[in-house]
Structure 1
Amino acid sequence: MTTRVPARRSNPSEQSARGKSFLEKAAYVVTPGTVVFGLLYYFGSTYRSAYYDYFGVRVSELELAPQDYVMGSTTAIFLPLLIAVVLGLLGVASFVLVDNQLSKRGLDRLRRQVSWALVAAGIGLLLLAFPVFLRPRWWQQAVSLFLASGWPRELLPPLIVAFGAILVMFGRHLRRDASRYRERVRAITDGLLIALVAMTLFFDMALYASGAGKAEAGQETNQHYMNMTGVVIHSREPISTQAYDACKDKGTGGGSYRFTCAGFRVLAKSKTRYFLLLERGKDVATLVLKDDDSIRVVVWKAS
C-alpha cells in the first residue's frame, strides 16, 4: 500500500518572489540611484554653467566628466535641500499636533472649519503664485519695496506655490471622510499636489544652483582670484594683444620661449586648452590658450 504525500502549496508571496527576474529585482535598487545621480548631475551642471558663464566661458568647452558635475552639485543644493528637509519635518510635526488637538470630542465643527480654511488659503496662494511666474509689472513694483533683487525675488513664487499645495493637502487630510469614492478622489488629488510640490521645488533648486554659481564667481572676483592657481606663461610669440602689457620680450637671447607673461590665474583646464584670467584694473580678460609646444606653463604661488 502506497501513501501519497500531498504536495505542499507554495505561498503566493514565494511564487511571486521566485517569478521575479534578476532585472526586476535590480530595478528596485538601480532606479532610485539613477534618479538621484541624474538630479545631482543636472544641478551640478546648472551650477557650473552659471559659474563659467560669469567669465564668458561655455561649460561645454571645458570637456568636464559627469563626476565633475556631480561633485559640484553639493555646493549647489546642500543648503536648499537642508532647508526643505527641516521645513518638511516642521510641517509634518505641525500637522500631527493640529490633528491631535482637533481629534478631541466636541471639536468636529471646528475641525471642518479649519479644514476648509486651510484648503481656501492654499487655493488662494496657488491662484496668486501662478500668474507671478509671468512676472507682471504690478508684482515687480510690489516686491521691489520689500525684497532685494536676485535670489529672494526669483525663489519666492515657487515657494508660494509649494506652500499653497501643502496647505491644500493638510486641509483635505483633516477631513475624515469614510466614503470610498472620496478617498479615491483625495488620493488622486494628493498625487497631483505632491507632483506640483516636487516640480516647484525642482524649479526653485535649479534657480538656487544658478544663483550660487554666479555668486561664487562674483566672490572670486571680489577677492581678486586669490584662490585660483597663478601661472607664468613662457611663449614663443605674444599670446594676445589683450595681454601684451603682461608679457616681457627677452629678445633673441631668451631662447626658444622669447616672451614671458605673468599675472595669470587658471580658471579651468581642459584636455587641450588653458582658460586663463588676467586682471587689469577693474576689468578682467579671459584668455584661451591651446596647450601645445608653443607655450610652457609654470605654476607659482603668491606669498
Structure 2
Amino acid sequence: MAKRLRSLRPPAVAQPENPSRALRLLGSVIAPTTVLTGLLFFFGRQHANWLLDYFGVPLSTMGLTAQDYLVRSADGLFAPVAVVMAAMLALLWLYRFLRARLADAAWQRLLRVATPVAVGCGLAGVTVAAVGVVRPEAFASSYSVPGAGLSLGVLFLVSASRLLAARAGRALPPPVATAEWLAAFALVSVGLFWAVADYSASVGVGRALQIEAGLAAPPEAVLYSAKSLNLTAPGVRETACRNPDAAYHYRYTGLKLILQSGGQYFLLPVQWQKADGTAVVLPRTDALRLEFTAAADPDAPC
C-alpha cells in the first residue's frame, strides 16, 4: 500500500535557475568576447585612420573592410592585451594560492590590509580619469592614461567591494551583485575604448613615420598604365612606351606601394615629404599593372 501511495505522488518540479545567476554566467562569456572584438575593430580602424591621415589620404577612399581592421589591430594591440590578461591570470592564481595556504585568521588579517589598499588604488585611478576629463592637457604626452586609470580604478573598487563582503562572511544579494557587475563592466569598457582611442593614434602615426623613413628602401613599384595618368610628383618619372601594340602605353617609376585594399592602390613617391608631398590613390583595374623591383631604371625602355 505504501509503495502504491508513493507511486501516486506527483513528480518533483525542477526549480527554475536564478535569472540573475544565469545572466551573470551568460555575460561572463559573451560580454568580454564582444568587448574584445569591439576593441580590436576600433583599434584597427583608428590605427588606419591616423596612418592614412598622416599622408593626407581620407580613410573612406581606401574601402577597408572589417577584416582589414581586425588584422591591423595586431600591430600594437596584441602585446598590451596579452600583458593585461597575463597579469589578471597571475592575480587570480595568487588569490587561490593564498586562500588555500593561509589559515582563517591569517586570511582575515590579509583582507583587512588589502581592502583599504584596493580602495585607495581605485580612488586614485578614478581621480586620474576625472582629471583627464577636466584638464586633458595634463596628459598631453600620453592621452591613454585617463582611460586606463578609469578601467583600473573601477576594477580595484569592485575588488574592494568583494573583499568587504568576504570579510563580513556574506554575499551580496543577487540583484545587487548583478547591478554591480553590469555597472562595473560598462565603466571598464568605456575606459578601455578611451585608452585605445589615444593609443591607436600614437601607434598609427608611429607606423606612418616608419613608412616615411623607409620610402627609399627597396622594393620600388613600377606602374604601367594604358593611358597617361599625368603623375607629376617629385621623383616620379613618366615614360611613353614606343610599341604601339603594347597593352600599357605609359610607365611610371619612383613610386612605393603602401597599401592595397578595397580595390584601391595607395602609392607614395619615394621622394615624398610631409610639407608638400602628394599621395596617389588609384583604382585597381585591368588598365593598370604593378611590378616590383629592387632598383628601377627610369631610363629603361618599356
In 1, Cα distance between the equivalents of 2:29 and 2:163?
Answer: 35
Amino acid at match of 1:232: L
Deviation at 1:282, TM superposition (A): 4.2
Shift of 1:79: 1.0
Are residue 247 (structure 1) and residue 249 (structure 2) matched? Answer: no
Cα separation, partners in 2 of 1:278 and 1:7, compared to 1, 3 Å: farther
How far 1:208 sits from its partner (Å)? Answer: 2.9
- Asked if the contact 1:95–1:170 (Cα under 8 Å) also holds between the matched residues in 2, the reply is no
The aligned residue for residue 158 of structure 1 is: 147
Q: How does 1:32-181 map to 2 (within 5 A)?
A: 37-96=37-96, 104-105=104-105, 111-112=111-112, 114-137=114-137, 139-140=138-139, 149=141, 153-175=142-164, 176-178=167-169
C-alpha distance in structure 2 between counterparts of 1:93 and 1:291, whole Å = 53
Deviations 1:91-117 (A, max 9, x none): 334555676788642785774354234
State the shift of 1:277 in Å.
1.0
Distance 1:91 1:37, change over 3 A: closer
Unaligned 5+ runs, structure 1: 17-27
For structure 1, which segment, 284-293 or 106-115, has the greater mean C-alpha deviation from structure 2 after superposition? Answer: 106-115
1:85 Cα deviation from its structure 2 partner: 0.4
- Residue type of the alignment partner of 1:211: S
Name which of 292, 295, 298 aligns with 1:300. 292
Give the 3-state SS of the residue equivalent to 2:291 in structure 1. strand
2:282 to 286, 289, 292: 289
Q: What is the identity, as a one-letter code, of the residue corresponding to 2:293?
A: K
Question: Residues 69 and 122 from structure 1, CA distance in 2 versus in 1: closer, same or farther, beyond 3 angstroms?
Answer: closer
Deviation at 1:262, TM superposition (A): 0.6
Matched-pair identity in %: 22
Q: 1:133 to 1:102 in 2, by over 3 A?
A: farther
CA distance in 2: counterparts of 1:225 and 1:81, whole angstroms: 34
Tell me how far 1:167 sits from its aligned partner.
2.3
Q: Give secondary structure in 1 for the equivalent of 2:187.
A: helix
2: CA distance, partners of 1:245 / 1:225:
13
Pair 1:202-2:193 in alignment: yes
Pair 1:290–1:226, CA change in 2 (3 A):
same
Distance apart, 1:278 and its partner CA: 0.7
Tell me if the contact between 2:258 and 2:267 (Cα under 8 Å) persists in the aligned partners: yes
What code does the residue aligned with 2:200 have? Answer: A
- Does residue 212 of the first structure (1) align with residue 214 of the second (2)? no
Q: Summarize the Cα distance change of 1:136–1:38 in structure 2 as closer, same or farther, 3 Å threshold.
A: closer
Question: Which secondary structure state, in structure 2, belongs to the residue aligned with residue 285 of structure 1?
Answer: coil
* Residues 154-188 of structure 1: per-residue CA shift (max 9 Å, x gap): 22222222222222223222222245667865664
Counterpart contact for 1:50–1:210, Cα < 8 Å: yes
SS at match of 1:129: helix
In the alignment, structure 1 residue 193 sits paired with structure 2 residue 184:
yes
Whether 1:261 and 2:252 are equivalent positions in the alignment is: yes
Answer yes or no: is the 8 Å Cα contact 2:236–2:254 preserved in 1.
Answer: no
Shift of 1:302: 0.8
Alpha-carbon distance between aligned partners in 1 of 2:11 and 2:249, rounded to the nearest angstrom? 88
1:170/1:185 Cα in 2 relative to 1: closer, same or farther (>3 Å)?
same
Query: Is this contact kept in 1: 2:222–2:290, CA < 8 A?
Result: yes
Task: Give 1:23's aligned residue.
Answer: none
> Which amino acid in structure 1 is aligned with residue 259 of structure 2?
A
Aligned partners of 2:215 and 2:271 also within 8 Å: no
**Matches of 2:64 and 2:198, distance apart in 1:** 22
TM-score (structure 2 length as normaliser): 0.69
| Whole-angstrom CA distance in 2 between matches of 1:159 and 1:268 | 31
Aligned residues: CA RMSD: 4.2
* Deviation, structure 1 residue 275: 2.4
1:12 equivalent in alignment to 2:4: no
Q: Which residue of 2 aligns with 1:19?
A: none
The equivalent of 2:22 in structure 1 is none
With over 3 angstroms needed to count, the CA separation of the structure-2 counterparts of 1:60 and 1:248, relative to structure 1, is: same
Cα distance, 1:136–1:261 mapped onto 2, change above 3 Å: closer
| Equivalent-residue separation in structure 1 for 2:31 and 2:191 (angstroms) | 22
Counterpart of 1:197, as a letter, is V
> Equivalents in 1 of 2:229, 2:255: separation in Å?
14
TM-score, normalising length: structure 1: 0.69
